[in-house]
């Protein structure tokens, strides 16, 4: 007679209960060129003189195809840049350090001994210190120095280095809607990186049974919220959070049933967006989506076999578009409003070349009416971030310049969004609920 336990497995499967499936789809042979297009775009974005992007190196390392020369050059650049930041005290937020640690680990380099410019630094220790500062800030001000997305990255990177961080701040589900907010909406991206971080921690086997229960409860709740963000076409959150959501769902099959998520449908939604150029600019967007196209997750940064990499991803420069003699013109309006204290409200109507960026519109307005409109930007991994307008500047975790077309918030920034004819571009100074 069959062992009673053996009967339970088919029964659970037929009931569609969670726990017994691992939903991991990935591109097939026909779809592969779409993934390669994004890998090549990231390879082509490498610039020896620009600030290196660790998220791109992570994505390239997690892929099955490689360009060893560019990956090595990028790893060297990151080491140099990390040492420079530490030596000069330049900006180095906890999440950014976490990305550097993961990028070097994925390149089979030791982030505890990063040598460049005749100096050796320990990036893992630095990350521990940065994470500690985040926790102190939460204690003192009820919010991290940065945001919960970066706390998720910190926990993940430390765990992949066998350092178990204190994760109680992400287990505490009070104010979950604030912690996982992107502005006023739920951030699938944030929930996804926290799921990856906690999954790593859960696997270490060093936890008490109470801690395991608390982590499992948090994972269950986050997975439910991620799945609640699923649209009818398979997109989860928006197209830019979908890749991270896929990674989170790849590792948490225990918490949902097969009927709750159709991996192939989500993969197709992402693939459909690639030819439309959705991930072309900035390459950061490509870096967050490609791991899941290959069925990979950030957890696999640990244990990559660098010695056996293939070297089969040539640099292909994108075809230069033919010069257009008659660019059509579009009409757009730009309105900027201080939506917090209503100190100003300014509008301008502009004629712009078709295909221009939101940033071009801001530049033109500033050059035409410098006394009435001026702005500043900051360079980030995601491209130019609009920091201030007419001297009114974003305050971390308190207020920011939100971008809209009419009433609809944009899901891209000023360096990527291309307004269509008739666009009503809006930048509105908006307060953040708390915790970013
Ligand atoms: C936290 C966060 C915010 C916070 C940032 C402040 C804070 N409290 O830290 C707030 C809520 C203010 C914010 C605003 C916006 N965000 Co945001 N944000 C994020 C999130 C969840 C994490 C960023 C992070 O810490 N990264 C890790 C660190 C190590 O990298 P970093 O480069 O140093 O991070 C900085 C930049 O990313 C910058 N930043 C945050 N959002 C954006 C968006 C753009 C376009 C740029 C250029 C920079 C930028 O703030 C970070 C902290 O300083 C990401 C999710 C993701 N998948 O990356 C979305 C994300 C980057 N944001 C996004 C968007 C669309 C916006 C907005 C344009 C929304 C809007 N309609 O106004 C605005 C930016 C407007 C502007 N003024 O330029 C998209 C970008 C998609 C794309 N292809 O361009 C993402 C991917 C979310 C998503 N899935 O839609 N964001």
Query: At 418, which CATH number?
Result: 2.170.130.30
Residues with CB under 6 A from ligand 1: 93, 95-96, 99, 146-147, 149-150, 182-183, 187, 189-190, 237-238, 240-241, 244, 285, 288, 380-386, 396-397, 400-403, 409-414, 416, 436
Kindly state whether residues 357 and 299 are assigned to the same domain.
Answer: no
pLDDT at 175: 76
Kindly state whether residues 253 and 142 are assigned to the same domain.
Answer: yes
Residue 334's DSSP bridge partners are 348, 425
Dist CA 156 CA 196 (whole Å): 7
Ligand 1 atom nearest 91 alpha carbon: 33
Q: Which domain holds residue 44?
A: 25-308
Kindly state whether residues 160 and 234 are assigned to the same domain.
Answer: yes
Dist CA 248 CA 250 (whole Å): 5
What are the distances in angstroms from CA 335 to CA 86, 345, 431?
40, 7, 18
Q: Is residue 323 part of a domain?
A: no
Residue that terminates a domain, selected from 274, 308, 342: 308
pLDDT at 177: 74
pLDDT at 434: 62
- Give every strand in the sheet of 424-431, ordered side by side: 345-353, 329-338, 424-431, 399-405, 408-409
Ligand 1 atom nearest 96 alpha carbon: 29
Tokens of 267: 């993969």
- The dihedrals phi and psi of 97, each to the nearest 5 degrees, come to -60, -40
Q: Where are the alpha helices (DSSP H) in 229-330?
A: 239-250, 263-273, 283-293
Q: Is 392 helix (H, G, I), strand (E, B) or coil?
A: strand
Instruction: Give how many domains the chain has, as a whole number.
Output: 2
What count of other Cβ atoms lies within 10 Å of the Cβ of residue 174?
7
Residue closest to 79 by CA, chosen among 56, 57, 100, 106: 100
Kindly state whether residues 101 and 50 are assigned to the same domain.
Answer: yes
Residue 386's DSSP bridge partners are 377
Kindly state whether residues 264 and 344 are assigned to the same domain.
Answer: no
Residues in CB range of 183: below 8 A, 6 or more apart? 400, 402, 409, 430, 432
Contact 71, 57 (CB under 8 A): yes
pLDDT tens by residue, 91-141: 999 999 999 999 999 999 999 999 999 999 999 999 999 999 999 999 999
Q: Whose CA is nearest to atom 86 of ligand 1?
A: 240
Report the phi/psi class of residue 221: left, alpha or beta, with left for phi > 0 and alpha for psi in -120 to 50: alpha
Dist CA 42 CA 291 (whole Å): 13
Contact 235, 279 (CB under 8 A): no
417 C-alpha to ligand 1 centroid (Å): 14
Q: Is residue 158 part of a domain?
A: yes
Ligand 1 atom nearest 95 alpha carbon: 29
Q: Is residue 4 part of a domain?
A: no
Kindly state whether residues 258 and 365 are assigned to the same domain.
Answer: no
Q: Is 393 helix (H, G, I), strand (E, B) or coil?
A: strand
Residue closest to 336 by CA, chosen among 414, 281, 395: 414
**Sign, Cα dihedral of 270, 271, 276, 277:** positive
Q: Is residue 321 part of a domain?
A: no
Kindly state whether residues 212 and 295 are assigned to the same domain.
Answer: yes
Kindly state whether residues 361 and 231 are assigned to the same domain.
Answer: no
Kindly state whether residues 244 and 154 are assigned to the same domain.
Answer: yes
- The dihedrals phi and psi of 306, each to the nearest 5 degrees, come to -70, -30
Dist CA 19 CA 258 (whole Å): 10
Kindly state whether residues 186 and 232 are assigned to the same domain.
Answer: yes
What are the distances in angstroms from CA 433 to CA 143, 185, 186, 287, 400?
11, 10, 12, 29, 11
Q: Is residue 10 part of a domain?
A: no
Q: Is residue 92 part of a domain?
A: yes
Kindly state whether residues 86 and 224 are assigned to the same domain.
Answer: yes
Burial of 422 (0-12, 13-18, 19+ CB in 10 A): exposed
The preferred substitution site among 92, 103, 182 for testing ligand 1, maximizing ligand atoms within 8 Å of CB, is: 182
The preferred substitution site among 143, 382, 389 for testing ligand 1, maximizing ligand atoms within 8 Å of CB, is: 382
**Domain CATH for 299:** 1.50.10.20
How far does CA 228 lie from the centroid of its chain?
19
Task: Mark the ranges of the chain whose per-residue pLDDT is less than 70.
Answer: 1-22, 319, 434-436
Contact 114, 82 (CB under 8 A): yes
Contact 412, 406 (CB under 8 A): no
82 C-alpha to ligand 1 centroid (Å): 22
Ligand 1 atom nearest 93 alpha carbon: 29
Mean pLDDT of all residues belonging to the chain: 93
Tokens of 177: 């809607």
pLDDT at 172: 80
Q: Is residue 315 part of a domain?
A: no
Contact 167, 134 (CB under 8 A): no
Dist CA 164 CA 128 (whole Å): 10
Residue that terminates a domain, selected from 260, 277, 308: 308
Q: Is residue 7 part of a domain?
A: no
Q: Is 413 helix (H, G, I), strand (E, B) or coil?
A: coil
Dist CA 433 CA 268 (whole Å): 34
Report the b/e string of 108-141 with b at 16+ CB within 10 A: ebebbebebeeeebebbebbbebbeebbeebeee
Kindly state whether residues 204 and 339 are assigned to the same domain.
Answer: no
């Amino acid at each position: 007679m069959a062992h009673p336990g053996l009967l339970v497995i088919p029964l659970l499967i037929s009931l569609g209960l969670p726990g017994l499936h691992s939903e991991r789809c990935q591109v097939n042979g026909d779809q592969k060129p779409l993934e390669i297009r994004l890998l090549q775009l990231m390879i082509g974005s490498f610039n020896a003189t620009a600030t290196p992007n660790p998220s791109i190196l992570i994505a390239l390392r997690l892929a099955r195809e490689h360009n060893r020369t560019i990956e090595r050059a990028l790893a060297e650049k990151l080491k140099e840049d990390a040492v420079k930041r530490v030596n000069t005290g330049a900006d180095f937020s906890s999440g950014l350090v976490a990305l550097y640690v993961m990028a070097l680990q994925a390149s089979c380099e030791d982030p505890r001994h990063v040598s460049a410019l005749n100096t050796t630094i320990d990036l893992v220790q630095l990350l521990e210190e940065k994470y500690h500062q985040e926790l102190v800030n939460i204690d003192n001000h009820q919010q991290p120095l940065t945001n919960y997305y970066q706390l998720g990255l910190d926990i993940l990177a430390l765990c992949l280095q066998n350092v178990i961080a204190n994760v109680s701040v992400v287990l505490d589900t009070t104010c979950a809607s604030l912690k996982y907010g992107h502005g006023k909406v739920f951030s699938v991206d944030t929930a996804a990186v926290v799921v990856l971080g906690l999954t790593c921690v859960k696997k270490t086997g060093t936890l008490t049974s109470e801690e395991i229960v608390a982590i499992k409860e948090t994972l269950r709740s986050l997975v439910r919220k991620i799945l609640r963000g699923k649209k009818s076409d398979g997109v989860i959150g928006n197209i830019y959070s979908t890749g991270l959501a896929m990674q989170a769902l790849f590792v948490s099959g225990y918490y949902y049933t097969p009927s709750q998520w159709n991996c192939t449908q989500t993969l197709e939604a992402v693939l459909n967006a690639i030819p439309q150029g959705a991930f072309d600019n900035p390459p950061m967007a490509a870096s967050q989506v490609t791991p899941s196209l290959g069925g990979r997750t950030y957890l696999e940064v640990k244990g990559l076999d660098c010695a056996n990499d293939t070297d089969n991803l040539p640099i292909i420069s994108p075809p230069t578009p033919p010069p257009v003699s008659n660019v059509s013109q579009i009409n757009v309006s730009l309105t900027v409003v201080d939506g917090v204290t209503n100190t100003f409200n300014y509008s301008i109507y502009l004629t712009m070349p078709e295909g221009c960026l939101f940033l071009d519109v801001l530049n033109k307005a500033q050059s035409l009416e410098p006394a009435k409109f001026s702005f500043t930007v900051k360079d980030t991994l995601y491209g130019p971030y609009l920091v201030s307008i007419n001297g009114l500047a974003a305050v971390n975790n308190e207020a920011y310049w939100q971008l809209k077309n009419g009433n609809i918030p944009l899901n891209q920034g000023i360096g990527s969004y291309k307004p269509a004819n008739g666009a009503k571009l809006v930048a509105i100074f908006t307060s953040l609920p708390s915790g970013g």
